[in-house]
Amino acid sequence: MYSDGARSIPDVIQNGYSVDIGKYLGEGWEIFKKNIGGFVGFAAIVLLLSSLAAILPEKARPLGNIASIVLAGPLNAGLFIVAFKLIKQRSTTFSDFFLGFNNFLQFFIANLLVSILVGIASLFLLLPGIYLGVAYSFTTALIVDRKFDFWEAMETSRKVISKRWFPFFGFVLVLVLINIVGALLFFVGLLFTIPLTMCAIAAAYQDILGLSATSMIEDAV
């Protein structure tokens, strides 16, 4: 699965690439299978934290919402860190899922800005919100893999994905549908579909941009 190294981003933007949805789903499944227990256990923690607002007493719910927003970025990064380590045939431990907190500020700001920009765009017209939501799909992965700061990662993701936005939109739509099915299964299915779809995005990232030899993953070895 892991062969060549990181590709030149200007070359990818200039020359383009193909989007193979079936390949990404298949490789995502292979990544997921390598550490099902870890992925499902971590997804359970993420879902529990994200539902704090509903669990806490009404007066404390604002704090639960704030905690969910603050933690979302580094927690999502953990899924990419583990997925990339598995792509590179590296061993993983459960603590790897929390390595996003080692670069907390970048992941927090990136997640916050993406949420704000997508939200604002959606308020005016739905289509700009959808465009940005898809175009920013590689933001967290770029911070993990290329050690970009939040804005460079956001802009690079937007430029790369915009090159083949409509096929990539089809890929994201399939991932959304998979998670809808997971939610319909009494939400228990999300324990499997959330990490599976994140692994599929990691597979897409590796196929399109390759993986760097100087990423956060190497720092964690």
Asked if 100 contacts 74 with a C-beta cutoff of 8 angstroms, the reply is yes
For the beta carbon of residue 76, count every other beta carbon within 10 angstroms: 21
List the domain boundaries for the chain.
Answer: 9-220
Q: What's the average model confidence in pLDDT over 179-184?
A: 96
Asked if 150 contacts 110 with a C-beta cutoff of 8 angstroms, the reply is yes
For the beta carbon of residue 77, count every other beta carbon within 10 angstroms: 28
For 1-60, the pLDDT digits (tens) are 544 589 999 999 999 999 999 999 999 999 999 999 999 999 999 998 887 766 777 777
The mean pLDDT of the chain is 93
Specify the pLDDT at position 186: 82
Percentages helix, strand, coil for the chain, rounded to the nearest 5?
80, 0, 20
| Residue 108 in this model has a pLDDT that exceeds 90 | yes
SS3 state of residue 5:
strand
Specify the pLDDT at position 44: 96
Q: What's the average model confidence in pLDDT over 190-213?
A: 97
